[in-house]
Amino acid sequence: MNALEIKDLSKSFRSNFLYKKTTILKNVNINVKKGTIYGFLGLNGAGKTTTIKCILGLIKPDHGTIRLFGEEAEKVSSRASIGFLSESPYYYDYLNAKETLALSGKLSSLSNKKINERSAKIISLVGLEGKENLLLKKYSKGMLQRIGLGQALINDPDFIILDEPFSGLDPIGRKELRDIILSLKAEGKTVFFSSHILQDMELIVDDIGILRNGKITKEGKLKDMVKKSIKNPVSYSLEDLFLKEITK
């Protein structure tokens, strides 16, 4: 069974000027296998965040279907299986890490007992031990990214969506994030993330999908694509593959 199945997803936005419609997504199809890590690629403005917002139900598609673990994504039970880190998260400066996780836990209707259990595990997983009582206004960008990942995991989600999770992280932070994503996969979770940092993506993804001109122009196992490219010595890394795909 696929963890995520998007069929013929289309979305256009009406600009204020003359109410002209701009189509951002044109019959997008995406298949993410359960228990895998999927890298979602595309240039700035390609429509990655728009796709993610459609999966989350934050915006309504013009048409198309989205299923999570075989169920319609709009169902409450489907939503409950999702964890999400936004590309531009908003945090309350005057809460500390523990309080931030508790707030997310409450929003997910978790009991206080569950929140305490989960937040202790998460603080250690995202490497914020010793900083859990510090106000978020005193956090660095990298620390905020960690707590953002933490709040995405509070409800122990089976499907984790991370929009640009590597942005703003130093090399050690990136390595640790790769390890966390791999540990989530080892627990049987499915991770879907967008990134422009292709070196990180290449190290951990099973499958990739490239969004270009509103369509998925390439999707499949990274290994197969890179292997195919080795025969053609012009292209053999994910970066080469991506550049070739978006400029052809």
Ligand X SMILES: Nc1ncnc2c1ncn2[C@@H]1O[C@H](COP(=O)(O)OP(=O)(O)OP(=O)(O)O)[C@@H](O)[C@H]1O
The smaller minimum CB distance to Mg ion, of residues 41 and 136, is found at 41
What are the strands, taking DSSP E only, across the chain? 2-14, 21-33, 37-41, 63-68, 71-72, 82-85, 159-163, 190-194, 207-212, 215-221
**Looking at beta carbons only, is 135 or 197 nearer to ligand X?**
197
How many Cα atoms occupy the beta-carbon half-sphere of 20 within 13 Å? 3
User: Do residues 220 and 236 touch, judged by C-beta distance below 8 A?
Assistant: no
Query: Cα separation of 197 and 42, whole Å?
Result: 11
State the nearest-atom distance from the C-beta of 218 to ligand X, in Å: 16
Instruction: Give the integer Cα–Cα distance in Å for 155 and 88.
Output: 20
Residue ranges of alpha helices (H) inside 12-75 are 48-56
78 binds Mg ion (CB under 5 A): no
Choose the contact partner of 92 out of ligand X, Mg ion, none; CB within 5 to 8 A by kind. Answer: none
Q: Which of 28, 48, 54, 207 binds ligand X (CB under 6 A)?
A: 48
Least Å from the CB of residue 43 to ligand X: 7
The answer to the question of residue 212 lying near ligand X (CB under 6 A) is no
Does 245 contact ligand X by CB under 6 A? no
The one among 1, 17, 19, 45 contacting ligand X by CB under 6 A: 45
**Choice between 48 and 212, CB closer to Mg ion:** 48
Q: Are 9 and 27 in contact (CB under 8 A)?
A: yes
d(CA 58, CA 50): 9
50 contact choice in ligand X, Mg ion, none (CB below 5 to 8 Å, kind-dependent)? ligand X
| Interacting positions 77-106 with ligand X (CB under 6 A) | 87
Let me know: does 164 contact 145? Beta carbons within 8 Å.
no
Nearest distance in Å: CB 165, Mg ion: 12
Distances (CA, A) of 63 to 52, 58, 59: 15, 15, 12
Q: Is 235 in the site for Mg ion (CB under 5 A)?
A: no
Which of 1, 44, 94, 231 contacts ligand X by CB under 6 A?
Answer: 44
Does 49 bind Mg ion (CB under 5 A)? Our answer is yes
Residues lying near Mg ion in the complex (CB under 5 A) are found at: 48-49, 87
